Structure 1
Amino acid sequence: MSPFVVAIILSAAILHAVWNAIVKTAGDRTTTLGLVAFGHVIPASVMILVLPFPGGDSFVYILLSTVVHFGYYFMLGKAYQHGDLSVVYPIARGIVPALVALWAYLLLDEVLPLQAWIGIGLIACGIQLSSWSSLRQGVGGAALGFAVGTGLCISVYSVVDGIGVRLSGNTLSYWAWGAFLHLFIAGFVGLRRRQVLTQLPARTWAIGILGGFVSMLAYGLVLYAKNFAPLGAVSALRETSVIFAALIGFVFLHEGYWVRRLGAAILMAGGVALVGLSG
């Protein structure tokens, strides 16, 4: 994998950590997730007007990805109702790289070298270590189930979009339409939370929509990278967002124990290096 592609994916991971930090600090996470989804729709509405239509073969993947994203938002919201973010997030994200590599092998015959698998393992260990003090206290059955469901949804839409963007003939068009169809997710949350939305201060609206802009940009970078690198490797590098989120929490929110988080960062950095140098 070229250093340029690695840099693109790590940039996406940092942006992903930023928007998750926005959600983490929100009082009403379900409503904020709806605003994040709406934040995708605003720029995408302009983009689909000026960009060519993506390849016909890819549009079914855009629709399927939208359905899976709906499941992702549902599972994530439910997981946060039953467990803390510091418990739910590492479980959901930690299982994704291996699942994506497995789906890519079964569906696309993408085979990762042993070095990449070792790197994925180090990244997964780093994800768990970053929130070990929360995880060791135990996790309820409902929180665990919804966290695993969230991770499963992430792995599925990662592979769906990896296939779709390669068929689209235009990464920007695929990205724009996928973001625009977040309209259905934002609309569903809006209908469920309409009384809350009317009472939200302008600052909360702005923060949520800004989170959507950042999230959309982060995923656009990931889609671009999927044109040039194995899906399992892309997913593993993207999940380093967990440690970036942990570092943001430590530096800006004064959360957690720095020695453990430094150890997690070292593990994940080693994993990144192995994946990046694996081919």
Structure 2
Amino acid sequence: MEALPFALVLLSTVSHAYWNYLIKRSSNKHIFTALSKLAETTLFAIPAVYFLLHTEFQPNFLLLISVAALITSFNYYFLSQAYQHGDLSLVYPLSRSSILFLPVLAYFTIGETIDLTGFVAIVLIVLAVLIIHLRSLSRSGLQSLFHQLHNKGTVFALLAALTVAGYTLWDKIAIRSMQPFLYFYLYTVLITIVYSSFTILFFRRSEIKSEWQRNKSAIIQVGFFNSFTYILVLIALTT
């Protein structure tokens, strides 16, 4: 990997970990996520308008952003559920272990393969994820690990990782046709509509207001750093 893409991905991991930490600290994960998406679309509206005015729309754009919005919406739901049922130190590494699924999906969808170094890296990541869950090097520790891998937090975290692999592949396909920032912003708007509708339907207005009052600063930060993180990754994919 060249230096610039590597640096961009490394910076994005720090940013991503930070906004996930903020989500974990929130009172209601689903409401917090919905409000952060509203903040995100508001914060980045001006550059989005600029790119809209300088982009000629193609017939396939709607399909590209709709599929991305669907996959990412599932990711946010699974991630919120994982943090609801599990600890940050366990859920976060699992939810980011899309590398478990990505090589297989990439092989069958776009024909990409990995070399021996990549395979070894995947094995090391899998071992690291398991070690994080291992409480002791004993029979009881292994039994505990087995039970942890079957709890709700772990299951939802793995589902989140699967959706990350899915939208990463879709992103690589989509940005061949669309300007990366515009692609990201438009499907974020769709996610915001879906998640906000879900929140209004299933939560009381008083709960939404309370979450905003308690975590206003964190919500705005997540809105910014979510886009910032993802834009870095999209740039890395194009370099």
TM over 0.5: yes
| 3-state SS of paired residue (2:175) | helix
**Take 2:238 and 2:212, find their aligned partners in 1: how far apart are those partners?**
40
**Superposition pairs of residues 1-279 of structure 1, within 5 angstroms:** 1-51=1-51, 52-53=54-55, 56=58, 57-94=60-97, 96-133=98-135, 136=145, 138-139=147-148, 140-168=150-178, 170-191=179-200, 192-193=202-203, 194-200=205-211, 202=213, 204-228=215-239
Q: Aligned partners of 2:121 and 2:56: how far apart in 1?
A: 34
Quick one: distance in 2 between partners of 1:101 and 1:63? 24
Cα distance per residue 1:183-242 (max 9 Å; x no partner): 2244135313332112235451221121121011001111111223xxxxxxxxxxxxxx
Q: Which amino acid aligns with 1:188?
A: S
1:31 Cα deviation after fit? 2.1
Q: Is the 8 A contact 2:94 2:158 kept in 1?
A: yes
RMSD: 2.4
Indicate how the Cα distance of structure 1 residues 176 and 81 shifts in structure 2: closer, same or farther if over 3 A, else same. Answer: closer
- How many residues were matched structurally? 226
CA contact (8 A) 2:34 2:192 kept: no
Counterpart contact for 2:31–2:211, Cα < 8 Å? no
More displaced stretch, 144-153 vs 52-61: 52-61
- Between the aligned residues of both structures, percent identity stands at 22
What runs of 5+ residues in structure 2 fail to find an aligned partner? 136-140
Note the C-alpha offset of 1:137: 8.0
Q: Is the 8 A contact 2:212 2:219 kept in 1?
A: no
1:224–1:59 CA distance, 2 compared to 1 (3 A): farther
Q: Shift in Å at residue 55 of structure 1?
A: 5.5
Separation in 1 of the partners of 2:147 and 2:49? 49
Aligned partner of 1:163: which letter? I
Judge which range, 4-13 or 111-120, deviates more: 111-120
Q: Distance in 2 between matches of 1:82 and 1:54?
A: 44
Superposed CA deviations along residues 65-120 of structure 1, whole A, max 9, x for unmatched, are 101111112222223333333333333322x1131122111111112211122123
Is this contact kept in 1: 2:73–2:195, CA < 8 A?
Answer: no
Runs of 5+ unmatched residues, structure 1: 229-279
Q: TM-score, normalised by structure 1?
A: 0.72
Could you give the per-residue CA deviations for residues 20-77 of structure 1, whole angstroms, max 9, x where no partner exists?
1111222322222222222321133223211133752344121101011111122222
TM-score for both structures, normalised by structure 2: 0.83
